[in-house]
Amino acid sequence: MLSPSRRPEQGEIWLADLAPPVGHEQAGPPRPVLVVSGSIMNRAPYDLAWIVPLSTRLRGLPGHIRLPAADSGLRADSEILCEHLRSISHQRFRSPAPLTRVRPQVLRQVLSQIRELMEP
């Protein structure tokens, strides 16, 4: 579990428990999630972070961004599921530290995709 003194940072991938799911939400055993919230949100006293989950089920759907294992350090190729943006408590993080960090260009692509999904 996340140490009380350790705060997630934007661009880091952590293991998080997203259960219980409702409808089409992502859940399952603790899964990798990408922190997309910035430092103001991540360091605020309410202990919340905005995340998007990752999946190894590669579907190529709109809103998904491919993350090859060779680029991420993860065990398998994954997709970042931008349409599943959500706020979670820091208590949901299950790893004591981040698993890895995405490259800056991947983070920019994810943030751009999230903005595009919010367009009217």
Pick the closest to residue 67 from 16, 103, 29 (CA basis): 103
When pLDDT is averaged across residues 112-120 and rounded to a whole number, the result is 93
Quote the tokens at residue 85: 């943006």
From the list 65, 61, 86, the residue with the least C-alpha distance to 77 is: 65
For 22-67, the pLDDT digits (tens) are 766 676 679 999 999 999 999 999 899 999 999 999 998 988 999 9
Give the H or E element holding residue 40: helix 39-43
Cβ burial of 101 (10 Å; 0-12, 13-18, 19+) is middle
Q: What is the pLDDT of residue 5?
A: 61
CATH entry 3.40.50.10420 includes domain 12-118 = no
Domain ranges in the chain are 12-118
Instruction: Tell me the average pLDDT of the chain.
Output: 90
